[in-house]
Amino acid sequence: MVAPVALRGTRPVLLVSCCVALMLLPQPRAVDSFAPLRAAMVTDQIQRRGVADPRVLDAMRTVPRHRFVPATLQHLAYTDRPLPIGLDQTISQPFIVAYMSEALGAERTHNVLEIGTGSGYQAAVLAHLARVVYTIEIVPELARRAAATLKDLGFTSVHVREGDGYAGWPEQAPFDRIMVTAAPERIPQPLIDQLRAGGRMVIPVGSAEQWLTVVEKTAAGVIERRTIPVRFVPFRRGRG
Protein backbone atom coordinates (compact mmCIF):
# COMPACT_ATOMS: atom_id res chain seq x y z
CA MET A 1 0.00 0.00 0.00
CA VAL A 2 1.30 3.47 -0.94
CA ALA A 3 0.80 6.10 1.81
CA PRO A 4 -0.56 9.57 0.96
CA VAL A 5 2.06 12.30 1.15
CA ALA A 6 1.18 15.90 2.11
CA LEU A 7 2.71 18.57 -0.09
CA ARG A 8 2.94 22.22 1.11
CA GLY A 9 -0.14 24.21 0.15
CA THR A 10 -2.02 21.19 -1.23
CA ARG A 11 -4.17 18.35 -0.06
CA PRO A 12 -2.54 14.93 0.44
CA VAL A 13 -1.90 13.14 -2.87
CA LEU A 14 -1.01 9.58 -3.74
CA LEU A 15 2.47 8.99 -5.18
CA VAL A 16 2.64 6.17 -7.71
CA SER A 17 5.96 4.46 -8.06
CA CYS A 18 7.50 4.90 -11.46
CA CYS A 19 8.88 1.37 -11.07
CA VAL A 20 5.34 -0.05 -10.92
CA ALA A 21 4.42 1.86 -14.04
CA LEU A 22 7.46 0.52 -15.87
CA MET A 23 6.54 -3.01 -14.91
CA LEU A 24 3.25 -2.60 -16.77
CA LEU A 25 4.98 -1.65 -19.99
CA PRO A 26 5.90 -4.37 -22.55
CA GLN A 27 9.48 -5.47 -22.04
CA PRO A 28 11.75 -5.62 -25.10
CA ARG A 29 12.57 -9.11 -26.34
CA ALA A 30 16.16 -10.28 -26.15
CA VAL A 31 17.98 -9.93 -29.46
CA ASP A 32 19.00 -13.27 -30.97
CA SER A 33 22.28 -12.41 -32.68
CA PHE A 34 22.48 -15.91 -34.18
CA ALA A 35 19.14 -15.69 -36.03
CA PRO A 36 20.66 -14.31 -39.27
CA LEU A 37 23.23 -17.14 -39.23
CA ARG A 38 20.45 -19.72 -38.83
CA ALA A 39 18.52 -18.18 -41.72
CA ALA A 40 21.60 -18.26 -43.94
CA MET A 41 22.31 -21.86 -42.90
CA VAL A 42 18.85 -22.93 -44.02
CA THR A 43 19.02 -21.05 -47.32
CA ASP A 44 22.60 -21.83 -48.32
CA GLN A 45 23.23 -25.28 -46.87
CA ILE A 46 19.83 -26.98 -46.65
CA GLN A 47 17.36 -25.65 -49.20
CA ARG A 48 19.99 -25.52 -51.94
CA ARG A 49 20.64 -29.23 -51.41
CA GLY A 50 17.00 -30.09 -51.91
CA VAL A 51 15.39 -30.23 -48.46
CA ALA A 52 11.99 -28.64 -48.97
CA ASP A 53 9.66 -29.67 -46.11
CA PRO A 54 8.50 -26.32 -44.67
CA ARG A 55 8.12 -27.74 -41.15
CA VAL A 56 11.68 -29.03 -41.17
CA LEU A 57 13.01 -25.75 -42.53
CA ASP A 58 11.12 -23.83 -39.85
CA ALA A 59 12.53 -26.09 -37.13
CA MET A 60 16.06 -25.56 -38.43
CA ARG A 61 15.52 -21.79 -38.43
CA THR A 62 14.17 -21.91 -34.88
CA VAL A 63 16.32 -24.30 -32.81
CA PRO A 64 19.40 -22.48 -31.43
CA ARG A 65 22.12 -24.86 -32.61
CA HIS A 66 24.82 -22.81 -30.87
CA ARG A 67 23.35 -23.82 -27.49
CA PHE A 68 24.19 -27.48 -28.20
CA VAL A 69 27.91 -27.05 -28.88
CA PRO A 70 30.79 -26.13 -26.53
CA ALA A 71 31.06 -22.41 -25.85
CA THR A 72 34.43 -22.27 -27.59
CA LEU A 73 32.82 -23.51 -30.82
CA GLN A 74 29.63 -21.45 -30.82
CA HIS A 75 31.00 -19.18 -33.53
CA LEU A 76 31.12 -22.25 -35.80
CA ALA A 77 27.69 -23.62 -34.88
CA TYR A 78 26.04 -22.65 -38.17
CA THR A 79 28.86 -23.62 -40.51
CA ASP A 80 28.53 -26.46 -43.00
CA ARG A 81 30.27 -29.12 -40.93
CA PRO A 82 29.93 -31.47 -37.97
CA LEU A 83 31.52 -30.28 -34.73
CA PRO A 84 33.06 -32.14 -31.79
CA ILE A 85 31.05 -32.08 -28.56
CA GLY A 86 33.55 -34.01 -26.46
CA LEU A 87 33.87 -37.66 -25.42
CA ASP A 88 34.67 -38.67 -29.03
CA GLN A 89 31.19 -37.60 -30.18
CA THR A 90 30.02 -34.99 -32.68
CA ILE A 91 26.99 -32.88 -33.56
CA SER A 92 25.99 -33.66 -37.14
CA GLN A 93 26.34 -31.26 -40.05
CA PRO A 94 23.17 -29.10 -40.33
CA PHE A 95 22.25 -30.53 -43.74
CA ILE A 96 22.35 -34.10 -42.41
CA VAL A 97 20.08 -33.17 -39.49
CA ALA A 98 17.59 -31.59 -41.89
CA TYR A 99 17.86 -34.39 -44.46
CA MET A 100 17.23 -37.10 -41.87
CA SER A 101 14.37 -35.12 -40.34
CA GLU A 102 12.69 -34.77 -43.73
CA ALA A 103 13.26 -38.45 -44.55
CA LEU A 104 11.72 -39.44 -41.21
CA GLY A 105 8.48 -37.61 -42.02
CA ALA A 106 7.39 -37.14 -38.41
CA GLU A 107 3.91 -35.70 -37.92
CA ARG A 108 2.51 -33.67 -35.05
CA THR A 109 0.64 -36.68 -33.61
CA HIS A 110 3.64 -39.03 -33.68
CA ASN A 111 5.66 -40.63 -30.90
CA VAL A 112 9.32 -40.66 -31.94
CA LEU A 113 12.24 -42.66 -30.59
CA GLU A 114 15.79 -41.40 -31.13
CA ILE A 115 18.83 -43.56 -30.49
CA GLY A 116 21.96 -41.49 -29.86
CA THR A 117 20.99 -38.24 -28.14
CA GLY A 118 24.48 -36.76 -28.39
CA SER A 119 24.19 -33.02 -27.89
CA GLY A 120 20.39 -33.08 -27.94
CA TYR A 121 20.16 -30.94 -31.08
CA GLN A 122 18.48 -33.53 -33.29
CA ALA A 123 15.96 -34.27 -30.52
CA ALA A 124 15.16 -30.55 -30.30
CA VAL A 125 14.50 -30.41 -34.05
CA LEU A 126 12.28 -33.50 -33.81
CA ALA A 127 10.37 -31.91 -30.93
CA HIS A 128 9.18 -29.24 -33.38
CA LEU A 129 7.82 -31.95 -35.67
CA ALA A 130 6.34 -34.65 -33.39
CA ARG A 131 4.11 -34.95 -30.33
CA VAL A 132 6.76 -36.47 -28.06
CA VAL A 133 10.39 -37.56 -28.43
CA TYR A 134 12.05 -40.32 -26.38
CA THR A 135 15.81 -40.28 -26.78
CA ILE A 136 18.51 -42.61 -25.45
CA GLU A 137 22.21 -41.83 -24.96
CA ILE A 138 24.79 -44.41 -23.88
CA VAL A 139 27.39 -41.87 -22.67
CA PRO A 140 26.27 -40.73 -19.18
CA GLU A 141 27.82 -37.27 -19.31
CA LEU A 142 26.30 -36.54 -22.72
CA ALA A 143 22.88 -37.74 -21.54
CA ARG A 144 23.01 -35.42 -18.52
CA ARG A 145 24.29 -32.49 -20.54
CA ALA A 146 21.68 -32.90 -23.29
CA ALA A 147 18.87 -33.25 -20.76
CA ALA A 148 19.97 -30.05 -19.01
CA THR A 149 20.21 -28.09 -22.27
CA LEU A 150 16.82 -29.28 -23.48
CA LYS A 151 15.22 -28.43 -20.15
CA ASP A 152 16.84 -25.00 -20.11
CA LEU A 153 15.43 -24.30 -23.58
CA GLY A 154 11.94 -25.44 -22.58
CA PHE A 155 11.67 -28.67 -24.56
CA THR A 156 9.23 -30.39 -22.23
CA SER A 157 8.15 -32.97 -24.82
CA VAL A 158 11.65 -34.54 -25.00
CA HIS A 159 12.48 -37.34 -22.55
CA VAL A 160 16.14 -38.35 -22.19
CA ARG A 161 17.29 -41.73 -20.91
CA GLU A 162 20.84 -42.90 -20.27
CA GLY A 163 21.46 -46.42 -21.54
CA ASP A 164 22.07 -48.86 -24.37
CA GLY A 165 19.84 -47.91 -27.29
CA TYR A 166 20.03 -51.33 -28.95
CA ALA A 167 17.04 -52.53 -26.92
CA GLY A 168 15.04 -49.39 -27.64
CA TRP A 169 12.49 -48.12 -25.11
CA PRO A 170 9.92 -50.94 -24.86
CA GLU A 171 7.80 -49.25 -22.18
CA GLN A 172 6.89 -46.49 -24.64
CA ALA A 173 6.60 -48.65 -27.77
CA PRO A 174 5.29 -48.87 -30.39
CA PHE A 175 6.76 -45.81 -32.09
CA ASP A 176 5.50 -44.09 -35.22
CA ARG A 177 9.02 -43.06 -36.15
CA ILE A 178 12.52 -44.08 -35.04
CA MET A 179 15.74 -42.17 -35.81
CA VAL A 180 19.19 -43.57 -35.13
CA THR A 181 22.22 -41.26 -35.13
CA ALA A 182 25.00 -43.84 -34.80
CA ALA A 183 25.86 -46.55 -37.30
CA PRO A 184 25.38 -50.26 -36.52
CA GLU A 185 26.58 -52.91 -38.96
CA ARG A 186 23.04 -54.31 -39.01
CA ILE A 187 19.70 -52.81 -38.07
CA PRO A 188 18.88 -53.85 -34.48
CA GLN A 189 15.90 -56.21 -34.46
CA PRO A 190 14.44 -54.74 -31.23
CA LEU A 191 14.07 -51.39 -33.00
CA ILE A 192 12.21 -53.00 -35.90
CA ASP A 193 9.99 -54.79 -33.37
CA GLN A 194 9.16 -51.50 -31.62
CA LEU A 195 8.26 -49.74 -34.86
CA ARG A 196 4.50 -49.43 -35.33
CA ALA A 197 2.93 -51.03 -38.41
CA GLY A 198 3.10 -48.35 -41.08
CA GLY A 199 6.01 -46.74 -39.23
CA ARG A 200 9.37 -45.59 -40.52
CA MET A 201 12.96 -45.66 -39.29
CA VAL A 202 15.93 -43.63 -40.55
CA ILE A 203 19.28 -45.17 -39.68
CA PRO A 204 22.90 -45.12 -40.94
CA VAL A 205 24.08 -48.66 -41.56
CA GLY A 206 27.60 -50.01 -42.14
CA SER A 207 31.15 -49.73 -40.89
CA ALA A 208 33.80 -48.79 -43.45
CA GLU A 209 31.04 -47.85 -45.88
CA GLN A 210 27.85 -46.38 -44.43
CA TRP A 211 24.52 -45.67 -46.10
CA LEU A 212 21.62 -43.75 -44.67
CA THR A 213 18.78 -46.25 -44.83
CA VAL A 214 15.03 -45.70 -44.66
CA VAL A 215 13.14 -48.65 -43.17
CA GLU A 216 9.38 -48.99 -43.75
CA LYS A 217 7.32 -51.48 -41.74
CA THR A 218 4.43 -52.54 -43.96
CA ALA A 219 1.77 -55.23 -43.94
CA ALA A 220 3.88 -57.10 -46.49
CA GLY A 221 7.02 -56.94 -44.36
CA VAL A 222 10.00 -54.68 -43.75
CA ILE A 223 11.31 -52.68 -46.70
CA GLU A 224 14.80 -51.12 -46.62
CA ARG A 225 15.93 -48.38 -48.99
CA ARG A 226 19.39 -46.85 -49.18
CA THR A 227 19.56 -43.09 -49.77
CA ILE A 228 22.92 -41.30 -49.40
CA PRO A 229 26.41 -42.26 -48.18
CA VAL A 230 27.15 -40.89 -44.71
CA ARG A 231 29.75 -41.02 -41.94
CA PHE A 232 28.50 -41.48 -38.37
CA VAL A 233 30.17 -42.63 -35.17
CA PRO A 234 29.81 -46.40 -34.61
CA PHE A 235 26.79 -47.70 -32.73
CA ARG A 236 27.98 -48.44 -29.18
CA ARG A 237 26.70 -51.23 -26.97
CA GLY A 238 26.62 -51.34 -23.19
CA ARG A 239 28.91 -53.59 -21.21
CA GLY A 240 27.66 -56.98 -20.09
Nearest to 135 by CA among 183, 175, 98, 84: 175
Contact 183, 208 (CB under 8 A): no
How far apart are alpha carbons 92 and 100 in whole angstroms?
A: 11
| Residue tagged active-site, from 92, 101, 119, 157 | 92
Q: What are phi and psi of 201, to 5 degrees?
A: -125, 140
| Cα angle for residues 128, 143, 226 (degrees, 5° grid) | 60
| Cα angle for residues 202, 205, 206 (degrees, 5° grid) | 170
Residues 6+ apart with CB under 8 A from 10: none
Q: Does 207 qualify as catalytic in the annotation?
A: no
Enzyme catalytic residues: 92
